[in-house]
Structure 1
């Protein structure tokens, strides 16, 4: 189900009904009330007036819902949109059940549903966490970290990421961290961004020779390097598939009571 499409349709339908009422139906109701008052010597009683002024239910609902739906559409399409993390591919940065906020303005304004960019703002930077529409199935949203920018040369061999021929710096934080005893917890630096990653020393993982990121496309990887379906397997993300930049976790819910103890910025 495409929620954006449903929301746009709901705004259009309620907006048209709201407009038709303002231009056509409401003046006709007011005219009926005025005619009835003129024909009545004693004036209209409350029950009769209420009956004549009563709006049909589609108009009543549209008048109430249209402003709310319009605000939701504007905020969700152009400012910020919530998402839930469904998998562990971005651990330890993001856990399954984290609810995140995505800045829809960071990489330019795009029209809902058609995703056409109408206003340039900024371009993704290496190290940022980005939500995008999966190239092979655009109705599905993915979240990964930007590793390669247009023109970059990317290679991944022996658990080591190389950008433009240089190994990306990383340092060991902990062996067998709590909750992931088979992993190494490391800090990696991509551009100016320092962030944590997982590597499993017992898993050889994918090996990828050097590729060049095409113009207008991006190379994406998950922080859980051995458990991430990312650009190493299916290729690059076109600029038109970008949804926005993930910038905060605002809630965590794993099926029990929602928790706000993990509220944090996303690095």
Structure 2
């Protein structure tokens, strides 16, 4: 018997079971925060590559061993209610992005998971130079700041990104084979825009319906979470992502 009627206390076996369950929960959360995580596609911004409801397995070890406390840096509330004393804290305990940085950088066309910047990056009024000309880009406040987003990495640090009639140019040359991942109803023009050092330019494959770097700016390197490698569910959608 696991419960004593006389003392009203839990017997040791019952206490051990509770601690075992808590241990499993903590282990699962650490695994999710550092190794692998599941990401469910909430919108159509990545059609045709990813559909609403697709379940992705994300490799969080791609860039390094993540600091599980880093999540507290992005949220102004704990459990959506309590004030978060670590929000944008300068403490290395939560500010540090990686416990172990592998030094790996995202490749062009990788599908990346990242934290939406809390404000336009690198600035709301971004000034840059192309061919000796000083240009400006104006970004808006990101929606759902601090949440996880999934987009395709298009521009690497130092690149000049441009859209002409919906076609992507990198450093003046059209990106090859973009029909494989681009939604074909995009006829937009954008840029040219220079990607600052330490940042990345991301786009949704379904660009007419995507909130991305064209609007709220670039993704800082320390906001990268991982790379999506395969669609796990539904079973008829299972495939490796390229």
TM superposition score normalised by structure 2: 0.70
- Of the two, which has the highest radius of gyration? 1
Provide the C-alpha distance between the structure 2 equivalents of 1:266 and 1:53, rounded to a whole number of angstroms.
50
Check if 1:107 corresponds to 2:89: no
Which residue is 1:257 aligned to?
Answer: none
Give structure 1 stretches of 5+ with no counterpart: 1-46, 172-185, 188-195, 253-259
Q: Name the SS for the 1:247 alignment partner.
A: strand
**RMSD value over aligned CA atoms?**
2.5
Check if 1:265 corresponds to 2:240: yes
Which residue is 1:179 aligned to?
Answer: none
Check if 1:65 corresponds to 2:21: yes
Equivalent residues of 1:138, 1:241 under 8 A apart: no
Shift of 1:48: 9.4
* Alignment match of 1:54 (pick from 11, 14, 26): 11
Higher helix share: 1
**For the structure 1 residues 54 and 166, does the alpha-carbon distance in structure 2 shift closer, same or farther, using more than 3 Å as the test?**
same
Q: Name the SS for the 1:169 alignment partner.
A: coil
Shift of 1:169: 2.1
Which residue is 1:160 aligned to?
Answer: 167
Provide the C-alpha distance between the structure 2 equivalents of 1:248 and 1:66, rounded to a whole number of angstroms.
30
Q: Deviations over 1:213-262 (max 9, x none)?
A: 1111100011112221111121100112111100111112xxxxxxx121
Give structure 2 stretches of 5+ with no counterpart: 72-96, 118-141
Provide the C-alpha distance between the structure 1 equivalents of 2:109 and 2:196, rounded to a whole number of angstroms.
18
**For the structure 1 residues 225 and 68, does the alpha-carbon distance in structure 2 shift closer, same or farther, using more than 3 Å as the test?**
same
How many aligned residue pairs are there? 188
Which residue is 1:77 aligned to?
Answer: 33
Provide the C-alpha distance between the structure 1 equivalents of 2:99 and 2:20, rounded to a whole number of angstroms.
30
Equivalent residues of 1:110, 1:117 under 8 A apart: yes
**For the structure 1 residues 90 and 60, does the alpha-carbon distance in structure 2 shift closer, same or farther, using more than 3 Å as the test?**
same
Equivalent residues of 2:30, 2:68 under 8 A apart: no
Which residue is 1:218 aligned to?
Answer: 200
Larger relative contact order, structure 1 or 2 (CA cutoff 8 Å, min sep 6): 2
